[in-house]
Homo-oligomer: A and B are copies of this chain.
Amino acid sequence: MSEKRKITLKDIAHALNISPSTASRALNGYHSISDETIRQVKDYAEKHNYVPNALAVNFRKNRTSLIGLVVPHIVHHFFSTTISGVIETAKKHGYHVLVSQSGDVKNGEVFACKTLLGIGVDGLIISVSNETIEADHLQDFLDEGKPIVQFDKITDQIISPKVVVDDFNGAYQAVKNLIENGYRKIAHLSGRMEVKNAQGRFQGYKKAIEDHGLEFREEWVKGCWDILEQEGFDFTKELMESPNPPDAIFCITDLVALGSMKYLQSAGYDLPSQVGLMGFSNWMLSEYITPNLSSVHQHGFEMGEKATEILIDLIKKHEFGADELIELKTELIVRQSSQKR
């Protein structure tokens, strides 16, 4: 296997009888070089299709133009969407992305971070795992002068900008929609209250209920531990078989809503006339099932985009950024499942 030998700056300089530094300056558009020289160098470079050795440049400048991205899972509609946003935005700014998955466990995350740091990424974008309580592995980046931006699943253990979805408002709008469609007894299948998203969605649900003069009942709120379809099924059964069953259910996630829907249909309830249903996250699924599931769309691509813009800005300014929380607006997608009539 034989490779074309690549031409170097030195070769250009030699051929043109100038010094390598002059050639370098000519190519990189310094103003203190005669137009004539610049023309010559550029011509020669073009003709011999000179490509600067990225390795050498990076080594010299001590930067890689690489940014690390760590998510719990790659095979996941929301995260793959954010990954796409990060990659496309990075591309626009001349950066490239190394994607890793933590598997949503601490060890995986630590390993990914250590690796990324070893490679020498210029900065990190991360959505932390459920198990991330302590964050030394993140602090390491800051200690080496590399900024971090967190998104979606965040921890307060380090100081960094954080991009999240406005769960509170998203939930509020979702429940408001159910109310406006005539539902009055709205239950909520929520998640673990330690998780910020679950907390925010619950608060939005509660506020919407109260603002509209409806009754808030503890027993209409069920906490899904693992956010599974089965949990949706089981809790819905529980709710509907209780003495005071709800007439609508707001689910923390589309998957839970699916489980809920399956129970309701299996038990003979008509959707959405008898029971209304609302999901969250607008998983692809929601537009394919029958009846279509109303849901709250979290702009994943824009989230990746935003996080990346902040990070690259910090890298360029050689700063860490404030410990701020940027909340992105959600979008209510009204489909059949929440429209009583």
Contacts and interface: CB of A to CB of B under 8 A. Distances in A.
B101 A87 contact: yes
B54 A56 contact: no
A229 B4 CA distance: 48
Nearest to A61: B55
Interface in A242-270: 258, 262, 265
A310 to B, nearest CB: 16
B290 A288 contact: no
A64 to B, nearest CB: 7
A19 to B, nearest CB: 22
A118 interface: yes
A81 interface: yes
A118 B51 contact: yes
Contact of A118 (B54, B100, B118): B54
A178 to B, nearest CB: 23
Contacts of A118: 51, 54
A124 interface: no
Per assembly, the copies of the chain total 2
A96 B56 CA distance: 19
Contact of A290 (B73, B100, B262): B262
Interface in A81-103: 81, 83-84, 87-88, 91, 96-101
A16 interface: no
Interface of A: 1-4, 6, 51, 53-56, 58-59, 62, 64-65, 73-77, 80-81, 83-84, 87-88, 91, 96-101, 115, 118-120, 143-145, 229, 258, 262, 265, 284-285, 288-290, 318-320
